[in-house]
Amino acid sequence: MHHQSKRHARLRRMIRELNRERKIQAKKVDILCHDLVDAQRSFISRLETLRFAGAFYRSLLGVSDLTQILRTASEQIGGELPQVSVSFFLQGSEGCKEVPYEAQATQSSRLEALLEESVCRDICSANRINSLENLLALGLQVNAGVTGKYCLATIPLSCGCRPLGFIFLHQEGPDSLQAENLQHVYAVCPGFSEAIAATGRFSRFKQLSSNKGP
């Protein structure tokens, strides 16, 4: 009887150890599954970025006019971010100003009008993706009606360390501009910035700025 009790105690101990090991292994499998899902999600995101970048750069092949470049870029970004409004602000002789392209040339969005010269200057200096929260910290003045209705973001344009301006995006819905989609657009900005800087019109635009002096 005593021998049998010892045997049962040993079996219970073995079962507890097996259960403990099973839980440890289950936790490892769970972590591994999460890592695999995260890796797959990251891989798919990179593929989406490559897809968008390929289409974006193909659309700019052979285009050398600044207005056409901006219009084409707007169409490509609009395809990636449906319902988004796209504006471009570039450095010039009078600071960083919106550069209209065709349909935008005859109308001024009230949201673009919120970007005062000092705010535009600070956005260029920041040289990063800015959410609405970042823009407010940079001095953007908006009322609660705008912050509750729209999602705003800026994406920098620069050649190396030299800021050229930024892309201004806004869309109805407070969470409509997702960070992942903004990263897709940000990925093409180096090449897009080079295309802008290479245009004769922009070169003259910058020349006026450099000749103006202090």
Domain ranges of the chain: 1-61, 65-212
Q: Which CATH number does the domain 65-212 belong to among 3.30.2350.10, 3.40.718.10, 3.40.50.2300, 3.30.450.40?
A: 3.30.450.40
For the chain, the C-alpha Rg in angstroms (whole number) is 27
To the question of pTM greater than 0.85 for the whole model, the response is: no
Q: What dihedral do alpha carbons 131, 133, 137, 138 form, nearest 10°? A: 20
Nearest in space to 134 (alpha carbons), one of 121, 147, 150, 123: 123
Task: Tell me how crowded residue 131 is: count the other CB atoms within 10 A of its CB.
Answer: 15
Q: What is the pLDDT tens value at each position of the chain, 214 positions in all?
A: 556 676 767 777 777 787 787 778 778 777 877 777 777 777 777 778 788 888 889 999 988 888 899 999 999 998 888 888 899 999 887 788 888 876 554 334 567 878 888 889 899 888 899 988 898 888 888 777 777 778 889 999 988 778 899 999 988 875 668 888 888 899 999 999 999 988 865 554 554 444 444 4
Helix or strand (DSSP H, E) at 208: helix 200-212
SS3 169: strand
Helix axes 200-212, 179-197, angle to 10 degrees: 80
